[in-house]
Amino acid sequence: MNIRGLLGRRAILVGAGQLAVAAVVAGCSSGGTGGSGGAKESGPVAKVSFEPAGGTEDVSPVAPVSVTVAAGRIGQVALTNPEGKQVKGTLSPDGTSYKVAEPLGYGVEYTWSGTATGTDGKSVPIDGKITTLAPKQVVPATVNVGDGQEVGIAAPIILQFKKHVENKEAVEKALTVTSTPETEGGWAWLPDENGGSRAHWRPREYWAPGTAVTFSAKLYGLELGPGDYGNSDLSSQFTIGRSQIVKGYAPSHRVQVIRDGSTLFDFACSYGEGNEARNVTRSGIHVVTEKYEDFMMSNPPFYTNVRERWAVRISNNGEFIHANPESAGAQGNTNVTNGCINLSTSDAQTYFPTALYGDPVEVTGTSIALSAADGDLYDWTIDWDTWKTLSAIQGEPAPVVSATPVAPGPVRSGS
């Protein structure tokens, strides 16, 4: 073979090799047109998440509810009820989260709506549903001291429910009492009254005059018992007035009104006759709860619907401080009443305007002590160590607060 032939063949082989390399390079730099039809477009980067993150049924109406966007910002968002009313909420300054700012309703389905825009400029929907729990029963409660009220130094805070409460510990943890100056005190669960549970907060000692008190009960959304939930939150801000203590020693046939440590009045009076248990004025710390310029009193079988004047109630068993002209001859020398503290008409009228809800009335020298048998405000007859054990968060069964061995007989509305 001649040289020209060899060169020609070599040139052909080199050219074929170059074509093969070119084909390989072309194959690596192109997606090709025979199979995939081009590269797939990536999805939106924004990710929407909700709180609660799990199931959206039986949500507590006071549980945290929010929506958060990762790798993006919220454009518009709303949580609405079936009537289309939007729930109040707040958007974070960076636009990445939105939090519901008010309690939801019981047993309501809410709908999320809106959009978010990712850092890639692509939008994603905000959609979802939440259904709040539906109680078997919603239980109301009331507090005895209202906003702006001024009360006496022995006034307890009474939270009264319309039904028996099973989860007393959970309820008690939802209650707060703060005061200026700070005051030591505590909650006690006393026996149910009128079919409902009641919790009383009492200071260890009488309130200091002028104390400012704030009470709060976060009951809405709280399970009080199986299927029973609180109806609403409660709160009250009130003040403690001057110190006024009524002191009565039954054998003396007199009663004193002590204002800020000084004797304001010293009245002749007549206490319960004591010939039978129902007529004994109870010894112990009573609390003023009501007062009436005119009051119809009954104490069967002795009398019914007798009009008395200037009546200040000190116990639910029917004990009052009131005017009684019929016992005027005994006032100051003999105890003849059916349990009340009788004053002359002029003395009762003088005392009446000074009496304030929550004033203590300390009676001594009689044969029967004030107790649970005498009505709802016997708080101060319970010693402090026992009172503390009546809290639901002590971890031990609460003792039973019982009546005195001698019952007061039929409830009387005055004597």
Q: Which residues are designated catalytic?
A: 322, 340
d(CA 405, CA 387): 20
CA 171 to chain centre: 7
Amino acid at 83: E
Backbone angles phi, psi at 43, to 5 degrees: -80, 175
Contact 90, 14 (CB under 8 A): no
Q: Residue 281 corresponds to which tokens in the numbers above?
A: 């004025």
Cβ of 89: how many Cβ atoms within 10 Å?
16
Peptide bond into 325 cis (omega under 30): no
CA 294 to chain centre: 36
Amino acid at 57: E
From residue 348, how far is each of 178, 265, 307 by CA, in Å?
36, 11, 14
d(CA 204, CA 182): 12
Per DSSP, which regions of 84-233 are E strands?
A: 89-91, 97-100, 109-118, 123-125, 128-131, 137-139, 141-143, 150-151, 157-161, 175-180, 185-193, 196-203, 212-217, 223-225, 228-230
